[in-house]
Chains A and B, each alone.
Chain A
Amino acid sequence: MEKPSDIGSDLLRGSTPSLVLAVLHEGPAHGYAIAKRINKAAESPLQLKQGTLYPVLHGLERDGFVTGEWEHPEGERPRKVYAITPSGNAELVRRTNEWKRFAASVNTVLGVKFETV
């Protein structure tokens, strides 16, 4: 039987920046919260290995799609909170459209029909 975590490790790797941007589109968050949102939202098929999130965030920040700011709450560990930028929002739209086209093409070739829930 296929394990949920086996489903998308390769697919997930390429999609992680889009998922991160989508999560941040809803509001600023630190890395742990982003990972939790991704893993929870997908209800198990997308089990992100969470350590790979920070390289993605580093790249998105370098590209100007997100900004990060360190917070130092009293008595707690410092954490970096990330927020999406206007160019990040534009990138999210671009990636979403690209994904739709890609998914539609793959579905056509595979003969997959979506069932609306």
Chain B
Amino acid sequence: MRQYEASSDVIDDFVCKLTEPLERTLDTSSLSEFRNNSLFHLDCLVEEFLVSGNSEEVSVALAIEAFGPADKAAMAMLDEWCRGRRPSAFSRSSASAVWWSFACFGIASGLSLLAIEFATFCSNGLLEEAAARDLYMIAPLLAGIAVGYCVPTGNLRALCFAAIPLVCHVIAANALFGPFNDGPGLPGLFVLWWIPAGAIALIGTAWLRRSRPLRRTAFPSKEARQ
């Protein structure tokens, strides 16, 4: 039973790798269809190799080999999806993911910055400045969780997804609200806290989402196969 579960996890991991580059680019139904078709196909291949007398581990390895490399299948799907839509090379790979990331981090940092401004200059005690600063520290974690949930992606890309919008935000905030009294305080905060905290939250949530089981029905037991 344990052996079977391990094999099933290998297939699940492969399908996750297969669909990961397509998240937030393909629409939900196309992505779900691709995922379910691939799961069914791989299970059939495993069954085929098991019937030929191979062990489960070998059958799973052979099934994955017959299916072909995950990145090639994903890129073929992306090419087919983009056919007729004429997207740029950038938007083909990750544009919607970057925009989603930008929206989450941008809104979070903008709102928390506004809260500090409000607490400092306008609230008349309604909002403590300390509370606003706490919100400013929590905001990258919330934004990271939101992006990680929607864009389950690799660590390096995740760091880019956290860094790109934050760097843009620092430039925009400096242009709109500067000059700041605290000199390099805001950019420093972004570099030292927002980017690592946001990226860690993003990677953690993406990992949690990736590790959710894909299957709704159990893999057939050995008894059922016989």
Contacts and interface: CB of A to CB of B under 8 A. Distances in A.
Contact of A54 (B38, B70, B72): B38
Interface stretch (A20-28, A30-38, A97-105, A106-114): A30-38
Interface of B: 18, 30, 33-34, 36-41, 43-45, 66-70, 72-73, 76-77, 79-81, 83, 217
Given A32-B44, A59-B80, A54 B37 contact: yes
Contacts of B72: 49, 51-52
Contacts of A51: 18, 38, 41, 67-70, 72-73, 76
A57 B76 CA distance: 11
Interface of A: 30-32, 35, 49-59, 75-80
B21 to A, nearest CB: 13
B67 A78 contact: no
Q: Per DSSP, are chain A's interface residues mostly helix, strand or loop, or mixed? A: helix
A36 to B, nearest CB: 8
Contact of B41 (A31, A56, A59): A31
B66 A80 contact: no
B17 to A, nearest CB: 11
A49 B73 contact: yes
B217 A77 contact: yes
Contact of B34 (A32, A35, A54, A59): A54
Given A51-B72, A55-B73, A58-B34, 13 more contacts: A30-B40, A32-B45, A49-B66, A49-B68, A49-B69, A49-B72, A50-B41, A51-B41, A52-B68, A54-B73, A55-B77, A55-B81, A76-B217
